[in-house]
Structure 1
Amino acid sequence: MGRIPCCERENVKRGQWTLEEDNKLASYIAQHGTRNWRLIPKNAGLQRCGKSCRLRWTNYLRPDLKHGEFSEAEEQTIVKLHAVVGNRQDCDTTRG
């Protein structure tokens, strides 16, 4: 017993995204939102997996995503926090 596959693997495109695919995904999400990632590729006319579309949107295409270098204020905040917290991977501040 397992999960239903998210897509048919033989019909899914892999590798780099093209500008045309980015535009299709962005325009579809602008009109319809991000409700069901499994249906978005089919409805947007993309031959991609829903997970691939979700990751592309989340990590590269979101309009509120900041691209480029950190500002001087952001850099100073990072340095200060690193001095306090260090390189800990467990940053759960709710623990005592």
Structure 2
Amino acid sequence: MGRSACCEKVGLKRGKWTVEEDEKLVKYIQSNGEGSWKSLPKNAGLLRCGKSCRLRWINYLRGDLKRGYFSVKEDEMIVMLHKSFGNRFVKSSIP
């Protein structure tokens, strides 16, 4: 009684994304928005799973995604916030 599969696994590409696939995904999202990730691959003309498209967009292709090291200002803010709040919001496995 588990969840149904997100897509038909037969005929889908797996592994590394090509530049052409990235361009198709970016172009589709720029013109139509994110919408339903389940139907996006078919509408965008990609032979990928919706989950794969979502993860590719969120982790690599999004325009506001910042990659690389923290700036000095960001690093100082992290230290200051940790001094103020500590690990208060970290869930502990110990009751």
TM-score, normalised relative to structure 2 = 0.81
Partner of 2:42: 42
Partner of 1:72: 72
Percent of paired sites with the same residue: 56
Q: CA deviation at 1:20?
A: 1.1
What count of residue pairs does the alignment treat as equivalent? 91
Q: CA deviation at 1:15?
A: 1.0
Give the SS at the match of 1:14: coil
Partner of 1:94: none
- Give the unaligned 5+ runs of structure 1: 92-96
Partner of 2:91: 90
Partner of 2:25: 25
Give the SS at the match of 2:23: helix
Give the SS at the match of 1:54: helix
- Give the unaligned 5+ runs of structure 2: none
Q: CA deviation at 1:3?
A: 3.2
For residues 22 and 88 of structure 2, what CA distance do their matches in structure 1 show?
35
Partner of 2:4: 4
Q: Alpha carbon RMSD of aligned pairs, Å? A: 2.1
Q: CA deviation at 1:70?
A: 1.0
For residues 52 and 43 of structure 1, what CA distance do their matches in structure 2 show?
15
Partner of 1:15: 15
